[in-house]
Amino acid sequence: MTPADMGRTFAFLFAHRTCSTHPEGRRRRDGEAQVAEILTSEISGYQDFEAFLNAQGFTMRSYEQGAIGVAARGQVFVMARRCTDEQAPYIDAGWVFERMRDRRSTEPLEHVVVWAAQLWATMQWFFYTRLDRGIDAVGRFKEAFVNVSQLTRELQEQIEGMRTRGAPADERGIAVWEILTESTGTSIETKARRFLSAMEEAALLERIEGEDEAHYRQTLNAAVEMSLNFERQAFYLMPVEDGKKLAVEDTVVGLIEGDNGPRSSGELATAFPDEEIDEDADTEQHAQRLLNGGVDVGH
Tens of pLDDT, residues 136-147: 899 999 999 999
Statement to judge: residues 100 and 158 lie in one domain: yes
Q: Is the pLDDT of residue 286 over 80?
A: no
- Mapping DSSP onto H, E and C, the string for the chain reads CCHHHHHHHHHHHHHHCEEECCCCCCCCCCCHHHHHHHHHHCHHHHHHHHHHHHCCCEEEEEEEHHHHCCCCCCEEEEEEECCCCCCCCCCCCCHHHHHHCCCCCCCCHHHHHHHHHHHHHHHHHHHHHCCCCCCCCHHHHHHCEEEHHHHHHHHHHHHHHHHHHCCCCCHHHHHHHHHHHCCCHHHHHHHHHHHHHHHHHCCCEEEECCCCCCEEEECHHHHHHHHHCHHHHCHHHCCCCCCCCCCHHHHHHHHHHCCCCCCCCCCCCCCCCCCCCCCCCCCHHHCCCCCCCCEECCC
Which backbone phi and psi does 191 adopt, to 5 degrees? -65, -40
Statement to judge: residues 67 and 160 lie in one domain: no
The pLDDT score that the predictor gives to residue 291 is 29
pLDDT bracket for residue 158 (50, 70, 90): very high
Statement to judge: residues 100 and 239 lie in one domain: yes
Cβ atoms of residues 200 and 207 within 8 Å: yes
Instruction: Please tell me whether the overall predicted TM-score, pTM, comes out greater than 0.75 for this model.
Output: yes
Asked whether residue 200 is assigned to any structural domain, the reply reads: yes
Region 120-145 average pLDDT: 92
The pLDDT score that the predictor gives to residue 293 is 35
The pLDDT score that the predictor gives to residue 106 is 77
Statement to judge: residues 128 and 220 lie in one domain: yes
The tens digit of pLDDT for each residue in 182-203 reads 988 889 999 999 999 999 998 9
Please state the domain count of the chain. 2
Asked whether residue 262 is assigned to any structural domain, the reply reads: no
Statement to judge: residues 288 and 199 lie in one domain: no
Cβ atoms of residues 123 and 92 within 8 Å: no
Q: Is the pLDDT of residue 271 over 60?
A: no
The pLDDT score that the predictor gives to residue 281 is 39
Share above pLDDT 90 across residues of the chain, in percent, rounded to a whole number: 47
Q: Is the pLDDT of residue 234 over 70?
A: no
Q: Is the pLDDT of residue 287 over 60?
A: no
The pLDDT score that the predictor gives to residue 241 is 55
Top pLDDT among 97 and 173 is at 173
The pLDDT score that the predictor gives to residue 266 is 42
Statement to judge: residues 27 and 117 lie in one domain: no
Statement to judge: residues 68 and 105 lie in one domain: no
Region 88-108 average pLDDT: 76
Top pLDDT among 279 and 2 is at 2
Asked whether residue 236 is assigned to any structural domain, the reply reads: yes
Asked whether residue 21 is assigned to any structural domain, the reply reads: yes
Statement to judge: residues 192 and 236 lie in one domain: yes
Statement to judge: residues 160 and 215 lie in one domain: yes
Region 148-167 average pLDDT: 95
Asked whether residue 109 is assigned to any structural domain, the reply reads: yes
Q: Is the pLDDT of residue 292 over 50?
A: no
The pLDDT score that the predictor gives to residue 285 is 35
When the pLDDT of each residue in the chain is averaged and rounded to a whole number, the result is 80
The pLDDT score that the predictor gives to residue 279 is 39
pLDDT bracket for residue 299 (50, 70, 90): very low
The residue segments making up the domain with residue 212 are 95-257
The pLDDT score that the predictor gives to residue 252 is 78
